[in-house]
Amino acid sequence: MVRYRKAMFGMLAVFAEFERDIIQQRTKAGLESARKRGRIGGRPAIDEKTKKKVRALFEAGESANDIAKEYGIGRATVYKIINENK
């Protein structure tokens, strides 16, 4: 009985690995296709002008939460901008 169970789990592992490989191939193909159409992934970069404003607001005593809401970015991003030059 134990052998059958072991064999079954082995087969399930093989199918799971096969499916994982298929998903990876499809993802790579989709990204490649998007690049050919001129699409770039990821979030848009924050320009230096905005970064200077964020630093100035933070140094003036504005909270990171308020700055993040005002510019539509995450609080962690505000802290990354502030700590860039340190």
Domain membership of residue 75 as a residue range: 48-83
Domain total for the chain?
2
Residue type, 58: F
Q: What is the pLDDT of residue 11?
A: 94
Q: What is the pLDDT of residue 55?
A: 95
Q: What is the pLDDT of residue 41?
A: 84
Q: Are residues 1 and 38 in the same domain?
A: yes
Q: Are residues 33 and 2 in the same domain?
A: yes
Low-confidence residues of the chain: pLDDT under 70? 86
10-39 b/e with 16+ CB inside 10 Å = b?
eeeeeeeeeeeeeeeeeeeeeeeeeeeeee
Q: Are residues 58 and 78 in the same domain?
A: yes
Q: What is the pLDDT of residue 69?
A: 96
Element (H, E) at 85: none
Q: What is the pLDDT of residue 86?
A: 67
pTM above 0.85, yes or no: no
Q: Are residues 38 and 56 in the same domain?
A: no
